[in-house]
Structure 1
Amino acid sequence: MVAPREPHEPKQDRSRATRQRLLEATIDCLAELGWAAATVAVVAERAGVSRGAAQHHFPTREDLITAALEYMFDTRTMQSRTESAMLSAIAEGADRTRAVVISLVESYTSTIFKAALQVWTHAAADPALRERIVPLEAHFGRVSHRMAVEALGVDDSDPVTHHLVQATLDMARGLGLADVLTDDSARRKTIVAQWAATLHEALQGRPGR
């Protein structure tokens, strides 16, 4: 009797690993070098694969960038869920509110955010790319809002609470932008502490608190 053929898992694993290296290299190139320099050739070299191998996975630069953006959103979403679960374990009060605000701001000063910013900036003048990424960003925005609500332990059906949470996310994004050109950590720390205290006070007495 002929033994059944073993599935080609090693080859599949290598393919998945190559794809992930390409996506992570794309993120690093976008964050460090900018949009124009993040070409397929540069990404392939950083990932340690041939350009042909890169194009096997992603035939065009647009395919590579879009896949990298999806990977960024998936990674950011998983990180948000993990952090939300950890933050929810902190006893309700000022400490949890401060921890949530710090976590949100840190997510907008990461390599992933800086890479995404390069794509957003280019998409502003590229309708085809904008059409690809706007739905992804809208989806992530909803997920981020929901995770923040869960971490804070508040009732998002209350309009005031909803706007306070969204204002926190908008502030976090703005602080991330301020950190792109220079190290803004000292000023950011003071602002985060003040906003966390203000947010905690504003949420007291709202539904769910």
Structure 2
Amino acid sequence: MGGVNTVERGPKQDRSRATRQRLLEAAVACLAEHGWAGSTVSVVAEHAGVSRGAAQHHFPTREDLFTAAVEYVAEERSTALRALFPEGTADRRAVVAALVDLYTGPLFRAALHLWVAACDEDRLRPRVTELEARVGRETHRIAVELLGADESRPGVRETVQGLLDLARGLGLAHLLTDDGARRERVVAQWATLVAEALD
């Protein structure tokens, strides 16, 4: 009998994982498109093609759903960034451009809506603050690794952090207008500055 239960449990777990993933992806898409006010659990469930009850089974509260969604996509983003440079340390200009690109997609837009909502939502604020600290540390760590930066040298940590802050600012500017040409020039200049600071 144990074998039958194991066989039955496998596909059910797979379906549960697939439902969870659809909900997380739908939550990010909804947050990016509709903002916090327009992104309810019901809207996300409908977008994901599951019942509201199924959504609440996986994520009992709205805060659970959206913080998990941003965390999930941040992890996917980190994996994708590493996949661009499988050998580790890479051409610094390419790394700078890839780091800036992290802040121009739907995940950044979704995260921004979550940050704004957290300013006014007491239950959400500590979760978003903790999540952003964790995501920020991971992004910094990946940047250091890919840039081949030696943080024991004076000013190197601040250079990497400045690069990430610049990338975030360029991401904000991109939300309002497509400033690709300007961004490209800024990225080229920063790649030069970063290379000089790290050599």
TM-score, length of structure 1 as denominator length: 0.87
C-alpha contact 1:87 1:99 (8 A) present in aligned 2: no
Letter in 1 for 2:57: H
Matching residue of 2:155: 160
C-alpha deviation, 1:133, in angstroms? 1.7
C-alpha contact 1:26 1:65 (8 A) present in aligned 2: yes
Distance in structure 1 (CA, Å) of the matches to 2:133 and 2:82: 17
C-alpha deviation, 1:84, in angstroms? 4.7
The aligned runs of 1:13-52 (5 Å cut-off) are 13-52=14-53
Matching residue of 1:62: 63
C-alpha deviation, 1:128, in angstroms? 2.1
Residues 58-109 of structure 1: CA deviation (Å, up to 9, x unaligned):
2221221122122133223323333353552x4xxxxx11111100000111
Distance in structure 2 (CA, Å) of the matches to 1:162 and 1:118: 28
Matching residue of 2:78: 77
TM-score, length of structure 2 as denominator length: 0.91
| Correspondence for 2:112 among 98, 110, 117 | 117
Secondary structure at the aligned position of 1:55 is classed as helix
| Correspondence for 1:129 among 109, 112, 124 | 124
Distance in structure 1 (CA, Å) of the matches to 2:141 and 2:3: 48
Distance in structure 2 (CA, Å) of the matches to 1:3 and 1:132: 40
C-alpha contact 2:24 2:65 (8 A) present in aligned 1: yes
C-alpha contact 2:28 2:107 (8 A) present in aligned 1: yes
Letter in 2 for 1:157: S
Task: Give the CA RMSD over aligned residues.
Answer: 1.7
Distance in structure 2 (CA, Å) of the matches to 1:83 and 1:158: 27
What runs of 5+ residues in structure 2 fail to find an aligned partner?
none
What runs of 5+ residues in structure 1 fail to find an aligned partner?
91-95, 205-209
C-alpha contact 1:87 1:100 (8 A) present in aligned 2: no
